Amino acid sequence: MFAILRSTNAFAIDLGTNNTLVYQPSRGIILDEPTSIAFDNNRNSFFDGGASSRRMWGKNPKYIEVMHPLSRGAIANLTVAKAYIKEVISRIAQRRFFKPTIVVSVPSDLTSMERSAVIEACKDGGARDVMLIKDPFSAALGSMQSIELPKGVLVLDIGAGVSDISLLSCNGIVMSKSLRLAGNDLDEAIIEYFKAHKRILVSHNDAERLKKELGNLFENEEKTMKINIKNLVSRLPESFVVSSTDVHRAIMPLADKMVALTHSLLSELPPSFAQDIYDQGILLTGGSSMLQGLDRYLSEKLEIQVNLVENPLHNIILGAGRAMEETRYSSLLGT
């Protein structure tokens, strides 16, 4: 089996709430696209998975639905997930007559039913064999950590739908805690803040832009951005200048929930791991970990070093690929 995992017909997939990445041994990352697919109600068929369907979101006519198969790291609609994965496999599998073997990186807190849904979706989508690896393992391996050693590695993964902190040692998870709150919730917090305090409606795309460009957990110099919004008083579209101060106020309550999640695990940390963690700190990864100032904010609140990994967007998929290629990590793969 593990020789097959290093073949040209085997792939690792990071099936994320917002984005899907695919890794092929010897080639590296071969696909990086939004986890979405369009459905035409007139024709009763799926089409345009990935970036093309994402561009339709919010601008689609009523007979076209832009669907997202995952919600908070888990499959929300099995039919949509099968259609989307089938689209992904059709793009990556070069030998169409041979079904590929797939390793999927998934959140650590998925239930057995949710894990079964991932496997079923992949097999019905065109995979021959499906193996799962938990995101904390992938994240640590993507940062070139040697998690097979009797030494604690603490990983905080903040994605689009899930925040997860896990203590790893000896190729196992010693303890972990998850919070179904992450990057998408920051976007929603921004939308709700401006709706409540400014009486304007901000689009999801603009909320994400504001988070990335103005979001900062430390109020440094004030920045502004002009966006187009809908005025909830006049009910008309207009331009509006957003300040970084307002974005800061919108995201702070959620940042504090991420601090609380991490603190709750640290408070239960077995004393035998204390020296390991305080020596090397916490690894911070996931797309939403790049929120400006998050690593520093966590470090100051928790009084422990928090280190943002070198490549947080690709960290998990690179680690899942490493698990395929190095037999010492084969025990991390399961169903």
CATH of the domain at 57: 3.30.420.40
Q: What is the pLDDT of residues 158-187, one digit of tens each?
A: 999 999 999 999 999 999 999 888 999 999
Alpha-carbon distance of 227 to 225, in angstroms, equals 6
Q: Are residues 74 and 202 in the same domain?
A: no
Binding residues: 208-211
3-state secondary structure of 241: strand
Confidence category of residue 313, pLDDT binned at 50, 70, 90: very high
Q: Are residues 27 and 162 in the same domain?
A: no
Tally of structural domains, the chain: 3
Q: Are residues 161 and 124 in the same domain?
A: no
Q: Are residues 92 and 154 in the same domain?
A: no
Q: Are residues 114 and 223 in the same domain?
A: no
Work out the burial of residue 273: count CB atoms within 10 Å of its CB; fewer than 13 is exposed, 13-18 middle, 19 or more buried: middle
Looking at this protein, which amino acid is placed at residue 288? S
Q: Are residues 36 and 105 in the same domain?
A: yes
Q: Are residues 152 and 294 in the same domain?
A: yes
Report residue 311 as tokens: 């490549």
Residue 65: which domain range?
A: 4-138+315-332
Write down which residue in 233, 250, 267 finishes a domain. 250
Binding residues for ATP: 208-211
Q: Are residues 20 and 38 in the same domain?
A: yes
> Which candidate, 228, 213, 12, places its Cα nearest to that of 103?
12
Q: Are residues 27 and 79 in the same domain?
A: yes
Instruction: Look at residue 333 and tell me whether its pLDDT is greater than 70.
Output: yes
Q: Are residues 159 and 304 in the same domain?
A: yes
Q: What is the pLDDT of residues 236-294, one digit of tens each?
A: 999 999 999 999 999 999 999 999 999 999 999 999 999 999 999 999 999 999 999 99
Q: What pLDDT does 191 receive? A: 97
Q: Are residues 168 and 219 in the same domain?
A: no
